[in-house]
């Protein structure tokens, strides 16, 4: 079982006819590999070789050398004499050159779509797709390149709607947004940033599936930037903090065993830690305010613990919040006497890290 999807490990018996057919495919594959390698060595980087590389990659997309060959082939085709920058008396051919390059890139992006659907977590496909788009930025007019990048953002949204937790898709999305906000693609002012719509997108994805580490992570990166771009004052930042705390607490009550939720909760708790408060989303909180929030969080987690006594994340967060309370005030919270019991619960629930919890107990002088 992986991400809720059952994996079948048993192999069905193969007939002799099927075995022979498979061996024939292997021989055809090896022959095709030899053909491609020979043509690359001879410098024959043609459109026909591009087609042969396509056949190879459809069989084996993990063959990263072929992806590199494909880059070399395309760059040769990009610089074909018929699509060079025109001289003064052939002004019209410049557009043809750009159209030629755009068609090559668009066709290659289309070629990758079935591969992405079949192998959504293959690094080489995502890397090569990024390379194609970067080539569009380098070689095409801004309007044409920007159009391709915008289309790619839409494609990424569709991919994530099929597999909302695909970290390749989320990382790729961040690279697309970064490119669309770059000067190379005509980005001009902060009013054009994509922070607001991307933040709304994380809300949408989280609401459809709370157990989405990548969406929570993306949200944590966007949040400080969102507040800065809004030029949020202390009151607005406090309001946003309360809103995010409410969001994550609702999620935690829904599924307290979900690790991705606790990572985001921990990120928010840094707002109350004196070590990180200055660079947090609400840096102007007073010490009394931080203590008040910390106390409320401890009470909320204790309430959550009722009925979820086997959830190690609650005990771990309670201990961390007690430490934050001590660092803010110089004294332990009223729940100090419960802390040794929480450590023992962690030793039981998390035996792989028993040494960590033993060290914590010693350091706290229980």
pLDDT band at 191 (very low <50, low <70, confident <90, very high): low
Residue 338 is assigned to a structural domain of this protein: yes
Whole-number percent of the chain with pLDDT over 70: 91
pLDDT score of 82 more than 60 = no
Domain holding 265, by residue range, is: 252-366
Q: For residue 83, what pLDDT is reported? A: 39
Rounded Cα distance between 280 and 269, Å, is 9
Q: What is the mean pLDDT of residues 125-152?
A: 97
> Exposed, middle or buried, 240 (CB in 10 Å: 0-12/13-18/19+)?
middle
Task: Tell me phi and psi for residue 354, to 5 degrees.
Answer: -55, -40
The residue ranges of DSSP E strands in the chain, in sequence order, are none
Q: Where residue 314 sits, what CATH number does that domain have? A: 1.25.40.120
Number of domains in the chain: 1
Residue-wise pLDDT tens digits, 195-234: 999 999 999 999 999 999 999 999 999 999 999 999 999 9
Who's near 352: CB < 8 A, 6+ residues apart?
none
Rounded Cα distance between 111 and 109, Å, is 5
Q: For residue 188, what pLDDT is reported? A: 74
Residue 280 is assigned to a structural domain of this protein: yes
Closest CA to 33 of 49, 9, 16: 49
Instruction: Supply the pTM of this predicted model.
Output: 0.85
Residue 137 is assigned to a structural domain of this protein: no
pLDDT band at 171 (very low <50, low <70, confident <90, very high): very high
Q: For residue 87, what pLDDT is reported? A: 39
Residue 74 is assigned to a structural domain of this protein: no
Q: Provide the terminal-to-terminal Cα distance of the chain, rounded to the nearest Å.
A: 40
Rounded Cα distance between 147 and 98, Å, is 14
Q: What is the mean pLDDT of residues 10-27?
A: 77
Helices (H) and strands (E) in the chain, counts: 15, 0
Residue 304 is assigned to a structural domain of this protein: yes
Positive or negative: CA dihedral 169, 172, 174, 180? negative
Q: For residue 365, what pLDDT is reported? A: 73
Residue-wise pLDDT tens digits, 57-77: 999 999 999 999 999 999 999
Residue 333 is assigned to a structural domain of this protein: yes
Q: For residue 10, what pLDDT is reported? A: 56
Q: For residue 126, what pLDDT is reported? A: 96
Residue 247 is assigned to a structural domain of this protein: no
Weakest mean pLDDT among 76-90, 186-200, 243-257, 283-297: 76-90
Three-state DSSP state, 61: coil
Q: For residue 79, what pLDDT is reported? A: 87
Q: For residue 267, what pLDDT is reported? A: 97
DSSP 285: -
* Residue 365 CA neighbour count, 13 Å, CB half: 1
pLDDT band at 20 (very low <50, low <70, confident <90, very high): confident
Residue 98 is assigned to a structural domain of this protein: no
Task: State the chain's mean pLDDT as an integer.
Answer: 91
pLDDT score of 31 more than 90 = yes
Distances in whole angstroms, Cα of residue 241 to Cα of each of 149, 234, 320: 33, 10, 19
Number of neighbours of residue 111 by Cβ within 10 angstroms: 16
pLDDT score of 86 more than 50 = no
143, 86 Cβ separation under 8 angstroms: no
């Amino acid at each position: 079982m992986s991400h809720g999807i059952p994996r079948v490990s048993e192999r069905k018996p193969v007939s002799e006819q099927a075995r022979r057919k498979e061996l024939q495919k292997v021989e055809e594959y090896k022959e095709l590999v030899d053909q491609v390698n020979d043509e690359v060595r001879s410098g024959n980087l043609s459109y026909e070789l591009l087609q042969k590389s396509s056949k190879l990659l459809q069989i084996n997309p993990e063959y990263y050398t072929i992806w590199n060959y494909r880059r070399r082939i395309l760059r040769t085709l990009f610089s074909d004499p018929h699509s060079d920058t025109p001289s003064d008396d052939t002004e019209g051919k410049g557009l043809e050159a750009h159209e030629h390059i755009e068609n090559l890139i668009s066709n290659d992006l289309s070629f990758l779509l079935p591969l992405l659907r079949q192998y959504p977590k293959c690094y080489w496909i995502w890397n090569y797709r990024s390379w194609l788009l970067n080539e569009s930025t380098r070689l095409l007019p801004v309007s044409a390149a920007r159009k391709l990048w915008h289309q790619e953002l839409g494609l990424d949204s569709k991919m994530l709607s099929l597999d909302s937790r695909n970290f390749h898709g989320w990382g790729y999305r961040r690279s697309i947004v970064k490119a669309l906000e770059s000067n190379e693609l005509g980005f001009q002012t902060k009013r054009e940033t994509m922070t607001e719509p991307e933040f709304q997108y994380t809300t949408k994805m989280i609401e459809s599936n709370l157990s989405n580490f990548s969406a929570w992570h993306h949200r944590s990166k966007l949040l400080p930037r969102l507040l800065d771009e809004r030029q949020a004052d202390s009151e607005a930042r406090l309001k946003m903090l309360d809103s995010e705390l409410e969001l994550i607490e609702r999620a935690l009550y829904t599924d307290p065993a979900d690790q991705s939720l606790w990572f985001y909760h921990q990120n928010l708790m840094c707002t109350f830690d004196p070590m990180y408060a200055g660079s947090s989303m609400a840096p102007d909180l007073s010490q009394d305010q931080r203590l008040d929030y910390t106390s409320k969080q401890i009470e909320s987690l204790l309430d959550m613990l009722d009925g979820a006594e086997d959830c190690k994340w609650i005990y771990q967060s309670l201990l961390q919040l007690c430490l934050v309370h001590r660092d803010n005030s110089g004294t332990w919270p009223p729940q100090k006497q419960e802390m040794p019991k929480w450590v023992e619960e962690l030793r039981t629930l998390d035996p792989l890290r028993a040494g960590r919890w033993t060290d914590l107990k010693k350091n706290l002088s229980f």
